[in-house]
Amino acid sequence: MTIEEKMKLITRNCQEVLTEEDLKALIESGKPINHYIGFEISGMVHLGTGLMSMGKIADFIKAGVKCKIFLADFHTFLNNKLGGKWEDIRWASEHYFKEALIASLKCYGLTGSEVEFVSGDELYKTHPEHWQNFMEIGKQVTLSRNLRSISIMGKKLGTDVNMATLFYPPLQVADIVTMDINLAHAGMDQRKAHVIAREAIKKIPGNHATPVAIHQNLIAGLTAPNVDNKDEESLKMSKSKPNSAVFIHDTPDEIRDKIKKAYGPPKETEFNPLLNWVKTLVFWGDEVGEFKIERPEKFGGNITYTKYADVVADYASEKLYPTDLKNALSEWLIEKLAPARAHFEIPEHKEALEKMKGLLGI
């Protein structure tokens, strides 16, 4: 594989690379590329994590990157998710979340064994230097900078921010140092922490690599955006809005039902979750691909799109009606997620999913 091919594989379907030059230099250096992506154990795994993030990992694996998934149990604990109960978080991390990520990787033809899973609990116990790294990073970040980066967790500043919350950003950056990461991967919501990482890690002792940061856009939620606030924030998928998110293990009927209820304005190609999903999930950010629409003759008959631009053009001119797009997208997802559903048919995992729902009060 040429350098250019690797670059393309690593960066496709991403919104931002900090920086492309650094990434190119890293690839050219021939050194092992140590990737990581971290997840809070805060709820069920939706498409943003299961398809966007895990699909990207499939790309990385193909490019020869060493991938690591960090199960951020302590971050979850600090952030008071899952009731802030340590035992529940640890259980969910190993028995639900990790399995859901493996299930997601299966949707991309992997088995899960290509990736290394590490929990915070394990990392901190086996790396005593982490405490030192945490303090070193803390010394490089001002309070106001730290506070600004905390909005990554969707917190309203000035309300109930407690001390533990302030530990979050430096802890996240210290993770990168301790795991010796040179390719940090996340959604755009994590960019502030990664920018701090790039700046702060340079300044601490030890000649640590400045990590390349690679960010994917957040996929749109299915519910309607706030009418007078059509911005990224109101569009993004959220675990806390059940109808805005499709989960990796949703049944075919749940998938059809959620997509049927999705916001689907005719002709509107800008703020449109359906097209957003077709673009980033079906076409995986590429211009070309394949997307089949099945519909009755009276509505135009079946059609297979091979270019994303054609989908957009037909949608804008109403040659492609929202309902037909919804049906096609539902069926595409149902098929794509089949391996994940199969994984959760295994009794052990099925049981874990039920218990997880219990913890979440669903």
Site string for RNA, 228-247 (x = CB under 7 A): -------------xxx----
307 binds RNA (CB under 7 A): no
Burial of 109-126, coded b for 16+ CB within 10 Å and e otherwise, reads ebebeebebbbbbebbee
- Longest alpha-carbon distance in the chain: 69
Find the part of the chain contacting RNA (CB under 7 A) among 14-22, 277-285, 320-328, 352-360: 320-328
Characterize the bridge pairing of strands 68-71 and 35-39: parallel
Closest approach of RNA to the CB of residue 227, in Å: 6
Q: How many residues bind RNA (CB under 7 A)?
A: 23
Q: How many alpha carbons lie under 13 Å from residue 229 in its C-beta half-sphere?
A: 5
CB of 273 to RNA, least distance (A): 9
Residue with smaller CB distance to RNA, 143 or 227: 227
Stretch that binds RNA, among 52-60, 73-81, 167-175, 318-326 (CB under 7 A): 318-326
Torsion-angle region of residue 13: left (phi > 0), alpha (psi -120 to 50) or beta? Answer: left
Judged by CB under 7 A, does residue 223 bind RNA?
yes
Binding mask 159-178 for RNA (x = CB under 7 A): -x------------------
260 counts as binding RNA under rule CB under 7 A:
yes
CB of 36 to RNA, least distance (A): 34
State the DSSP string of 40-95: ---S--BHIIIIIIHHHHHHHHHTT-B-EEEE-HHHHHHTTGGGG-HHHHHHIIII
Q: How far apart are CA 263 and CA 222, in angstroms?
A: 6
Q: Which of 210, 300, 313, 342 binds RNA (CB under 7 A)?
A: 300
User: Which strands make up the sheet holding 116-119, listed edge to edge?
Assistant: 16-18, 212-216, 183-187, 35-39, 68-71, 116-119
The CB-of-298 to RNA minimum distance in angstroms stands at 8
Among 109, 128, 227, 297, binds RNA (CB under 7 A): 227
Q: Which residues bind RNA (CB under 7 A)?
A: 160, 223-224, 227, 241-243, 260-266, 295-296, 299-300, 321-324, 326
